[in-house]
């Protein structure tokens, strides 16, 4: 975990360490880290695990078969094993209503159908991971939750957080597939629909933005960071580029 963040105890809702329970939606979402266009990047768990115990990932490019095979493998998150997992009813996340509620400007935001042929059949996969017995607290939290959505990240944010009147603590934007990738809109652009959706959440703005990427150096991040997130709390070079933790002011 980044040392600038305060470690929190494992929340009560996570202590049963089983996905057999009904999804505790409010507790799972409130104070979570939200990561759209995530791919299979597990680094945010390393960066903020312990400050956040719940991670919500969304990416329409990765099928359930690939994600389930990956997380089932021992060491998918280094130092953790899969304790419990199950597919959720995608009807619990009303993406159709979210699309109707989003006010998309096709000229400014891009066209959501641009890469429709690359979008997987929607799914929601809920997992709970437990730290290996030989790893101590400094490695990360004892337990954490991962909700992986095979869905569009903009619509999923609205369907999850708006509808339930909660806000994440951290939003991660790391190499989101802009330019030559397959993202239909631009996450770093504060004029476009993703920024407008996240910052327009009536439940409040995330406390932090976690920015990064192969070319996410300080000059890029300073130019790209959203308005009201001008307090750089932590910046460092990583194995896959650079990351910066920016705080809402």
- Per-residue model confidence (pLDDT) at position 2: 86
- Per cent of the chain over pLDDT 70 is 99
| Cα separation, 200 vs 218, whole angstroms | 26
- Per-residue model confidence (pLDDT) at position 230: 93
Place of tokens 């959720």: 88
| Cα separation, 210 vs 193, whole angstroms | 18
**Strand ranges inside the chain, DSSP E:** 33-36, 54-58, 80-87, 124-131, 143-149, 170-174, 208-213, 231-238, 241-247
Radius of gyration of the chain (CA): 17
- Per cent of the chain over pLDDT 90 is 83
Domain ranges of the chain: 12-247
| Cα separation, 149 vs 160, whole angstroms | 11
pLDDT in tens, 44-98: 999 999 999 999 999 999 999 999 999 988 778 989 999 999 999 999 999 999 9
pLDDT in tens, 162-190: 999 999 999 999 999 876 678 999 999 99
- Per-residue model confidence (pLDDT) at position 56: 98
CB 194 within 8 A of CB 202: no
Place of tokens 């312990």: 50
- Three-class SS of residue 149? strand
Residues 6+ apart with CB under 8 A from 49: 1, 140, 141, 144
Provide the CA 106 distance to its chain's centre, in angstroms: 25
Q: pLDDT: is 79 or 34 the higher one?
A: 34
- Per-residue model confidence (pLDDT) at position 118: 87
Alpha-carbon distances of 83 from 16, 79, 96, 113, 239, rounded to whole Å: 10, 13, 32, 37, 28
- Confidence tier at 243 by pLDDT (50, 70, 90): very high
């Amino acid at each position: 975990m980044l040392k600038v963040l305060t470690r929190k105890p494992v929340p009560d809702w996570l202590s049963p360490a089983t996905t057999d329970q009904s999804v505790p939606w409010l507790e799972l979402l409130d104070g979570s880290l939200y990561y759209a266009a995530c791919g299979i990047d597990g680094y945010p768990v390393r960066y903020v695990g312990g400050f956040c115990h719940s991670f919500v990932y969304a990416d329409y490019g990765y099928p359930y078969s690939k994600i389930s095979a990956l997380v089932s493998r021992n060491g998918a998150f280094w130092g953790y094993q899969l304790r419990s997992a199950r597919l959720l009813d995608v009807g619990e996340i009303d993406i159709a209503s979210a699309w109707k509620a989003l006010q998309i400007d096709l000229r400014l935001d891009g066209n959501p159908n641009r890469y429709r042929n690359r979008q997987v059949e929607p799914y929601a996969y809920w997992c709970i991971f437990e730290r290996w017995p030989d790893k101590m607290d400094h490695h990360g939290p004892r337990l954490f939750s991962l909700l992986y959505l095979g869905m569009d990240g903009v619509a999923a944010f609205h369907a999850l957080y708006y509808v339930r009147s909660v806000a994440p603590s951290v939003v991660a934007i790391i190499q989101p597939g802009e330019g030559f990738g397959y993202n239909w809109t631009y996450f770093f652009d504060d004029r476009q629909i993703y920024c407008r959706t996240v910052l327009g959440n009536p439940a409040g703005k995330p406390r932090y933005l976690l920015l990064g990427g192969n070319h996410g150096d300080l000059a890029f991040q300073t130019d790209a960071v959203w308005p009201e997130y001008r307090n750089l709390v932590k910046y460092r070079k990583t194995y896959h580029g650079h990351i910066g933790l920016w705080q809402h002011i």
